[in-house]
């Protein structure tokens, strides 16, 4: 009997240690790890440039002002034919990852304003099942070069150009926060992390409770 009682006491002590020491330490560790992760991600981002309010023509003929995205998250790319095979699959993956969000937009810019370029843009989006006129845009304008300069895309330091460009840029509330090379897996992971950590709180509909007599 004494032996069983002793075992019971040790079990109780062990349970108390788990509740009072181990569980709080584990919880603290995971909270601290999550906090460090967020702080690291924030430190990786910086205010690089403001997104100017220029007007562009979308592939569907709609006129789009960049001011439209000023309160949201924007993932942009200056289209480069030489990197199409990497860009379109990545765009598709990102779109399906965030297509339920109302604060994330995907915008491709092209300096080719010819009718054939517009038709090709629509066909590319259609082939990739990316026809979503609320979230996915393919904008054409002769002002694309000026825009890339305004956004401070690091073409020279990356040995790139407007026609040989594998960079995506990420902007939050009309401020460019980072550039990401679609050829680099770590860059793509970093982009997803930055998008996720900057998602805006979703507005919840007010819950209306009906009185019993109204049901």
Question: pLDDT tens digits, residue range 52-88?
Answer: 999 999 999 999 999 999 999 999 999 999 999 999 9
Confidence of residue 97 (pLDDT cuts 50, 70, 90): very high
Mean pLDDT, to the nearest integer, of 120-137?
Answer: 95
Higher pLDDT, 210 or 182: 182
> Tokens for 71?
């309160």
CA dihedral 168, 182, 139, 103 (to 10 degrees): -60
Q: Which domain holds residue 16?
A: 1-44
Q: Across the strands, what pairs with 164?
A: 161
Same domain, 132 and 64: yes
Helical ranges in the chain per DSSP H:
2-17, 23-44, 84-98, 115-127, 144-150, 185-198
Confidence of residue 201 (pLDDT cuts 50, 70, 90): confident
Same domain, 4 and 67: no
- Rounded Cα–Cα distance for residues 134 and 131 (Å): 9
Please state, in angstroms and as integers, the Cα–Cα distance from residue 52 to each residue in 9, 38, 68, 148, 152, following that order.
Answer: 70, 28, 11, 11, 12
> Tokens for 54?
């220029």
- Rounded Cα–Cα distance for residues 74 and 215 (Å): 43
Mean pLDDT, to the nearest integer, of 15-24?
Answer: 58
Model pLDDT, residue 159: 95
Same domain, 106 and 79: yes
Of all residues in the chain, the percent with pLDDT exceeding 90 is 71
Same domain, 78 and 184: yes
| Model confidence, pTM | 0.76
Same domain, 75 and 136: yes
The answer to whether residue 141 sits within a structural domain is yes
Please state, in angstroms and as integers, the Cα–Cα distance from residue 74 to each residue in 67, 69, 167, 176, 204, following that order.
Answer: 11, 7, 14, 9, 22
Of all residues in the chain, the percent with pLDDT exceeding 70 is 73
Same domain, 7 and 81: no
Model confidence at 26: pLDDT above 90: no
Give the chain's domain count.
2
Confidence of residue 206 (pLDDT cuts 50, 70, 90): very low
The answer to whether residue 213 sits within a structural domain is no
Model confidence at 95: pLDDT above 90: yes
Confidence of residue 189 (pLDDT cuts 50, 70, 90): very high
The answer to whether residue 64 sits within a structural domain is yes
Tell me the helices (H) and strands (E) count for the chain, helix number first: 6, 8
Model confidence at 140: pLDDT above 80: yes
The answer to whether residue 205 sits within a structural domain is no
Higher pLDDT, 45 or 159: 159
Q: Which residues contact 19 (CB under 8 A, 6 or more apart)?
A: none
Model confidence at 126: pLDDT above 60: yes
Same domain, 18 and 60: no
- Rounded Cα–Cα distance for residues 168 and 79 (Å): 10
Among 10-19, 97-106, 167-176, 197-206, the range scoring the smallest mean pLDDT is: 10-19
Average pLDDT of every residue of the chain: 83
Model pLDDT, residue 200: 84
Same domain, 55 and 19: no
The answer to whether residue 145 sits within a structural domain is yes
């Amino acid at each position: 009997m004494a032996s069983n009682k002793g075992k019971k006491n040790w079990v109780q002590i062990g349970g108390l240690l788990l509740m009072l020491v181990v569980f709080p330490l584990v919880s603290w560790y995971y909270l601290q790890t999550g906090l460090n992760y967020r702080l690291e991600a924030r430190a990786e981002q910086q205010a690089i440039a403001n997104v100017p309010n220029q007007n562009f023509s979308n592939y569907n003929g709609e006129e789009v002002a960049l001011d439209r995205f000023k309160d949201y998250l924007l993932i942009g790319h200056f289209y480069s034919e030489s990197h199409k095979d990497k860009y379109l699959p990545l765009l598709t993956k990102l779109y399906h990852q965030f297509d339920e969000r109302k604060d994330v937009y995907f915008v491709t810019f092209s300096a080719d304003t010819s009718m054939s370029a517009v038709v090709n843009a629509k066909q590319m989006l259609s082939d990739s099942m990316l026809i979503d006129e609320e979230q996915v845009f393919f904008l054409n304008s002769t002002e694309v070069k000026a825009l890339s300069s305004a956004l401070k895309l690091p073409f020279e330091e990356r040995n790139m150009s407007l026609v040989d460009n594998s960079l995506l840029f990420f902007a939050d509330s009309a401020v460019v926060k980072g550039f990401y090379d679609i050829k680099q897996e770590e860059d793509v992971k970093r982009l997803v992390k930055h998008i996720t950590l900057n998602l805006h709180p979703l507005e919840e509909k007010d819950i209306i409770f009906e009185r019993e007599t109204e049901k």
